[in-house]
Amino acid sequence: MNRFSYTKTHTLEEAIHEVIPNDGTKFIAGGTNLIDLMRANIERPDHLIDITHLDLHQIEETEQGGLRLGALAKNSDTAYHELVQKRYPLLAKAILAGASPQLRNMATNGGNLLQRTRCYYFYDTATPCNKRIPGQGCSAIHGYNRIHAILGTSDYCIATHPSDMCVALAALDAIVNVKGREGERTIAFNDFHRLPDDAAHIDSTLRQGELITSIELPAKGFEKHYQYVKVRDRRSYAFALVSVAAALNLDGDSIAEARIALGGVAHKPWRDVEAETFLQGKVAEPENFEKAAEMILKEAKGYKYNMFKIELAKRAIVRALTEARDLQTPEPLNCYTYNRHHQL
Amino acid sequence: MNASNTTNTDTSYIGRPVNRVDGVLKVTGKAQYAGEYNTSGLLHGIVICSPIPRGKITSVSTSDALKVKGVKKVFTHENVKGLPWFDLSYKDMELLPGSPFRPFYSNEILFSQQPVALVVAESLELARYASTLVRIQYETAEFETSLERNLKKGFTPRRGKTGYEKPKSRGKAERALKKADVKVEAAYFHGAEHHNPMEMFSSTVLYENDDKLTIYDKTQGVLNSQSYVTRVFGLKSKNVRVLSPFVGGAFGSGLRPQYQLFMSVLAALDLKQSVRVTLTRQQMFSFGHRPITWQKLELGANKEGRLMGISHTAISETSRFETYTENVVNWSGRLYECENVRLDYQLVPLDVNSPLDMRAPGAATGVLALECAMDELAYALNIDPLELRLKNYTEIDPAMKRAFSSKNLMDCYKQGAEHFGWEKRSYQPRSMKDGKHLIGWGMSSGMWDAMMMPARAKARLTPDGKLTVSSATADIGTGTYTIMTQIAAETLGLPLNDVTFMLGDSSFVFAPFEGGSSTAASVGTAVLYVCQNIKEEVFKLAQKIDGSPFHNTSIEKVVFANGYITSEDDPQQTIAIAEVLQRSGVKFIEEKSTDLKLKNLIKQGKYSRNTHSAVFVEVKVDEDLGMISVTRVVSAVAAGTIINPKTSRSQVLGGVIWGISMALHEDTFLDNNLGRFMNHDLAEYHIPVHADNPEIEVIFVREKDEIINPLGVKGLGEIGIIGVASAVANAVFHATGKRVREFPITLDKVF
Ligand SMILES: Cc1cc2nc3c(=O)[nH]c(=O)nc-3n(C[C@H](O)[C@H](O)[C@H](O)COP(=O)(O)OP(=O)(O)OC[C@H]3O[C@@H](n4cnc5c(N)ncnc54)[C@H](O)[C@@H]3O)c2cc1C
Ligand code: SF4
């Protein structure tokens, strides 16, 4: 850990204007990711701005009939919020699939979006990593890459974005509201995270000094037919090898609208509009789900230890879509019912 | 009088599920661990580890670090001088052949994460910050860390560390295997595992004038640490006291002094101040581990399912500087009746740190392969896996051709199967289903040694009726405090609350390190003996006091119970134990069990002494996604007298969970391009979480052993893990029809 200074801010304006536009200043929210990275000497901010006292904790309905999630609302408060449970159960389920209750109690919605990859090499300063130090090389490409990406990778980086919450937000077409010195802007969820290309050290399109103020959900919540399938190595406290957020609007047997987002396979939550369009108007049956899965994975590229993810992702897509279709009256979600759902 | 035949009174504690005597201290945070002792002016050390696996340090620059106010010193090979170079000075009780790692000895790097510098400062934070300012340059040399690539480079160790038994083949296995009606041949592999006890390794060295040290160390043996420190630093034993009253788990990692002990003592002596060094979680992956092991099993049987020949080869890694050995293949010659057994154990030296004993070292590995192969043989023969074990059951130890001191594996099979409902199992793989989940039932046998090591105890009874017993043993969470208190209380017939057992102090009488499941038997016997001595003394006094009812009674005719000595023939004839001391006017009675050699040694030598188990497991496997859950486990254990069913059950539960972990989760991944373990934190080094753990039923079958020791105790630390991973693997086969021979069985291998 390096030396740093620390200020606690109470207003948004204060927070934004304290930021000197260089990489040395960082916001700190729940700290569940940033502090770990500082201790491992990976993030080395010289100044921390504590934003936890800003007035960004609310979860409230928007004029457009959607829901606004404050950037500082805790992951657990979001997942257990009545309106989220009722109208966006897909999001509730995805959040509850992540981390552990203790972490979710600390983690904020804004921080969740900006958590960094769990690539082993990124976390170990003894090894080369382009994401940590551009130009050093990527140890994972020829190393132990079991947890790495199969879609949208580059020769510079094959890391994944680790979030569960973001996979549901991608499927739900959320919008990220941000504010910086130059004013406010909105970023479509799909444009928020980026692919590694040749600049693996940049995870998102957020500009230096910009603060996430909220995440906005559109009115459509797909609360009747949704599923979040998380395939992982143990039943809790493990990141997804592959995860799928699936949401359907059904018109009798056929699909009026489909949303599919994948986690654990790319540098960002992976959406494939082509496959979603393909499903539109089709009968909601495994055969069509399989075809959609094939479309999504057709460009996939595996590495030595993660080849299995390609077939696994296909099966997880079919599973998620099938269960979304078959969903009966869902019960309120909490971490216990969540676990029961996944109890074998 | 033997403890096990005292009449049933309130003070018969042996066999009762007594709560941990240190339980309250632990749950209220009052139990202090090595890294929690404080003193004014305590300095803190942070260790810097090497990023490369082999090569040299070419330069060290500490000037930036030393500029930080509050930084005392940076120790490296450049400024640490005058320590012995002699290997023997660094040897510990594990006695590995070779040359022990000597921190800061030279600029040579022998393994990745080798400690290369210690930064000592006034606070932990300062030390940690300053450690990022130390610049060390390295020159990497060629290295090799892959066992798979070097299986042909194995050598057969001529000798090994403490407890190593060179495997002995017998009969003509090759010929028997050729002639067998049915034969299976399979290779198994598992990666490295790191102990990762909850408590990080830590030593707090309290410095007193004239280089007198009091050291709180995380260790499984205070005397081991003490002797290491005195030899390395040339100190007198009387000036080095090592304490370790509480240990937050160790699992074998505390059998050798870890480098934080060396470092904190080095700094304390150099700076003449008290120093603490605590390792980080990442550094918990920098010392020994369960070695990566490749195994090949060949089993041949006749049509009836009788084993005709067994061949078991194991190839493990060791470091280039020490020969770390385990008894991996030996079990294949001992678990079943078979005339022809070929055993082969080899080691491949690699650029890694020396492996280190981890719970059931050798057996966890060897029995895993043997019991998976037995399952494969059962299917090749088309007979039930349990039936195959029963057909090859042996009453004698076939390797030593001698009887067991006791062996009730039969009841483990029977009761385990019955509680599990094994008879309802459908034989064919993939034949049991529950919705989208395939169900599998698998079983395995387990076997471990029942070791006895020389140990002593000291006891003191005072006129208030309080007994204090002590021994330099350890309680690494196993329940030593509790069971020793039980043994002492029952032997003298005192209420539990009047008995205090003390351990983890090098000033106490000798006990070996707590390892190999030997403590209950070894120290337990010493405690029994010393309390029997006290008892005799008390009785002598009781006979002498005025109006004693026992003038003409012999000690065999009285009972010590509930704090009283009572005549067996006439319960009216009774006197309180405390009163005996009070009326005799003695200040205390003190006894040491002097006999370091074990009584009955010759008699015991005629028998094989082992614990056994049978494990039954149910798994459910998601047919499409491959996710595996263990849903039920029954573990039946034969381990002689169970002194405390509660702490014993906890031991077995821990073992079972670790076995599940070994089967499905645990693997420190070694990147051979970098020669480095990569998943060195608990987020990525997976062990089962609560949600992964099923209902576990533990059965202790009756097993009376009159040979092993007067208590009939065999010890329980390791047997709980052995056979669990194989039972899980066999259940996965039964569920999916897939034999996964590479551990852990992650979902990508079955889906
Ligand atoms: C062991 C472990 C397991 C985990 N498992 C999972 C899992 O399975 N699934 C999952 O999804 N997550 C998992 N997590 C990650 C967890 O969800 C994130 O750490 C958490 O969401 C981050 O939120 P935070 O508020 O603590 O962020 P912080 O650590 O405070 O910040 C993270 C980053 O976001 C920036 N930031 C925070 N808020 C804002 C804002 N409003 N505007 C701009 N920048 C901001 C910070 O500057 C920092 O760079 C796990 C974490 C751990 C430690
Ligand atoms: S995958 Fe990305 S994060 Fe991982 S080592 Fe390569 S560059 Fe670094």
Which residue's CA lies nearest to atom 37 of ligand 1? Answer: A111
pLDDT at B3 > cutoff 50: no
Contacts of residue B191 in chain A, CB cutoff 8 Å?
Answer: none
What is the per-residue pLDDT for B73?
A: 98
pLDDT at A23 > cutoff 80: no
- The answer to the question of residue B554 being in a domain is yes
**B681 to A325, B434, B642, B689: CA distances (angstroms):** 39, 36, 36, 15
Which among B242, B254, B245 has a CA at the least distance from the CA of B213?
A: B242
Q: Which residues sit opposite A259 in a β-bridge?
A: A247
Look at B626 and A319 and tell me if their CB atoms are within 8 Å.
no
Residue type at B525?
T
Average pLDDT value for residue range B694-722: 95
What is the per-residue pLDDT for A173?
A: 98
Contacts of residue A120 in chain B, CB cutoff 8 Å?
Answer: 669, 678-679, 684
Average pLDDT value for residue range A97-122: 97
From the CB of A268, is ligand 2 less than 6 Å away? no
Query: In Å, how far is B47's CA from the nearest CA of chain A?
Result: 14
Asked if B482 contacts B21 with a C-beta cutoff of 8 angstroms, the reply is yes
On the CB side of A141, CA atoms within 13 Å amount to: 13
Q: In what helix (H) or strand (E) does residue B384 lie, and over which residues does it extend?
A: none
ipTM: 0.95
- The answer to the question of residue B729 being in a domain is no
Q: What is the pLDDT of residues B336-350, one digit of tens each?
A: 999 999 999 999 999
From the CB of A138, is ligand 2 less than 6 Å away? yes
Query: In Å, how far is A187's CA from the nearest CA of chain B?
Result: 31
Spacing, Cα A156 to ligand 2 middle (Å): 7
Asked if B695 contacts B633 with a C-beta cutoff of 8 angstroms, the reply is yes
Is residue B718 among the annotated active site residues? yes
Average pLDDT value for residue range A74-92: 97
Spacing, Cα A131 to ligand 2 middle (Å): 6
What is the per-residue pLDDT for B507?
A: 98
Look at B620 and A344 and tell me if their CB atoms are within 8 Å.
yes
The pLDDT-based confidence of B605 (bands split at 50, 70, 90) is confident
What are the DSSP calls for B449-514, one per residue?
E--------EEEE-TTS-EEEE-S---SSS-HHHHHHHHHHHHHT--GGGEEEE-SBTTSPP---S
Domain that holds residue B491: 3-31+453-595
Query: How many contacts, defined by CB atoms under 8 Å, are there between A and B?
Result: 95
**A177 to A62, A70, A182, A188: CA distances (angstroms):** 13, 10, 14, 9
What is the per-residue pLDDT for B2?
A: 36
Q: What letter does residue A140 receive in the DSSP assignment? A: S
Spacing, Cα A162 to ligand 1 middle (Å): 10
What is the per-residue pLDDT for A343?
A: 41
Which among B688, B621, B696, B686 has a CA at the least distance from the CA of A344?
A: B621
Asked if A105 contacts A144 with a C-beta cutoff of 8 angstroms, the reply is no
Alpha helices (runs of H) in B616-723, residue ranges in sequence order: 645-664
**Burial status of residue B590 (CB atoms within 10 A of its CB: 0-12, 13-18, 19 or more):** middle
Residue type at B278?
T
Spacing, Cα A11 to ligand 2 middle (Å): 36
pLDDT at B303 > cutoff 80: yes
**B560 to B5, B29, B565: CA distances (angstroms):** 11, 36, 5
- The answer to the question of residue B261 being in a domain is no
Cross-chain CB nearest to B625 (options A118, A144, A231) = A231
**For residue B600, what are the contacts with CB-CB under 8 A and spacing of at least 6?**
B707, B709
Look at B692 and A318 and tell me if their CB atoms are within 8 Å.
no
CA dihedral B20, B22, B28, B30 (to 10 degrees): -170
For residue B328, what are its two tokens?
Answer: 């991996």
Q: What is the pLDDT of residues B422-463, one digit of tens each?
A: 999 999 999 999 999 999 999 999 999 999 889 999 999 999
pTM of the complete model: 0.96
Q: What is the pLDDT of residues A280-306, one digit of tens each?
A: 999 999 999 999 999 999 999 999 999
- The answer to the question of residue B585 being in a domain is yes
- The answer to the question of residue B469 being in a domain is yes
What is the per-residue pLDDT for B85?
A: 84
Query: Which of A150-159, A295-304, B152-161, B600-609 has the lowest average pLDDT?
Result: B600-609
What is the per-residue pLDDT for B745?
A: 98
Average pLDDT value for residue range A308-324: 98
Q: Omega before B744 cis (within 30°)?
A: yes
Look at A118 and B683 and tell me if their CB atoms are within 8 Å.
yes
What is the per-residue pLDDT for B1?
A: 33
Asked if A245 contacts A320 with a C-beta cutoff of 8 angstroms, the reply is yes
The CATH architecture annotation of domain A226-334 reads: 2-Layer Sandwich (3.30)
What is the per-residue pLDDT for A328?
A: 83
Taking a contact as any Cβ pair under 8 Å apart, which residues of chain B between 657 and 676 contact chain A? 664-665, 669, 671, 673-674, 676
Q: How far apart are CA B129 and CA A41, in angstroms?
A: 10
Q: In what helix (H) or strand (E) does residue B368 lie, and over which residues does it extend?
A: helix B363-381
Which residue's CA lies nearest to atom 2 of ligand 2? Answer: A157
Look at A237 and B125 and tell me if their CB atoms are within 8 Å.
no
Query: In Å, how far is B735's CA from the nearest CA of chain A?
Result: 14
Q: What is the CATH number of the domain that holds B502?
A: 3.30.365.10
pLDDT at B377 > cutoff 80: yes
For residue A85, what are its two tokens?
Answer: 């449970």
pLDDT at A344 > cutoff 50: no
Q: How far apart are CA B11 and CA B487, in angstroms?
A: 10
Q: In what helix (H) or strand (E) does residue A59 lie, and over which residues does it extend?
A: strand A59-61
3-state secondary structure of B594: coil
Going along B623-749, which residue ranges are E strands?
628-638, 670-671, 676-677, 695-700, 742-743
Strands B628-638 and B499-502: unpaired
What is the per-residue pLDDT for A166?
A: 98
Q: What residues does CATH 3.30.390.50 cover in chain A?
A: 226-334
Asked if B460 contacts B477 with a C-beta cutoff of 8 angstroms, the reply is no
The pLDDT-based confidence of B236 (bands split at 50, 70, 90) is very high
Q: How far apart are CA B410 and CA B412, in angstroms?
A: 5
What is the per-residue pLDDT for B516?
A: 86
Q: How many domains does chain B have?
A: 1
What ligand is nearest to the CA atom of residue B689? 1
State the Cα angle at B255 between B710 and B479, rounded to 5°: 45
From the CB of A78, is ligand 1 less than 6 Å away? no
Q: How far apart are CA B461 and CA B535, in angstroms?
A: 10
pLDDT at A337 > cutoff 80: no
Average per-residue pLDDT in chain B?
96
The CATH architecture annotation of domain A5-52 reads: 2-Layer Sandwich (3.30)
Spacing, Cα A42 to ligand 2 middle (Å): 13
Contacts of residue A42 in chain B, CB cutoff 8 Å?
Answer: none
- The answer to the question of residue B633 being in a domain is no
What is the per-residue pLDDT for A329?
A: 66
What are the DSSP calls for A84-120, one per residue?
HHHH-HHHHHHHHTSS-HHHHHH-BHHHHHHPPP--T
Look at B112 and A231 and tell me if their CB atoms are within 8 Å.
no
Cross-chain CB nearest to B679 (options A120, A235, A315) = A120
Which residue's CA lies nearest to atom 27 of ligand 1? Answer: A111
Contacts of residue B692 in chain A, CB cutoff 8 Å?
Answer: 234-236
Q: How far apart are CA A34 and CA A42, in angstroms?
A: 9
Average pLDDT value for residue range B719-748: 98
What is the per-residue pLDDT for A280?
A: 98
- The answer to the question of residue B491 being in a domain is yes
From the CB of A192, is ligand 1 less than 6 Å away? no
Nearest residue on chain B to A4, alpha-carbon basis? B129
Query: In Å, how far is B142's CA from the nearest CA of chain A?
Result: 17
- The answer to the question of residue B528 being in a domain is yes
**B581 to A336, B461, B576: CA distances (angstroms):** 59, 9, 9
pLDDT at B7 > cutoff 90: no
Average pLDDT value for residue range B202-227: 97
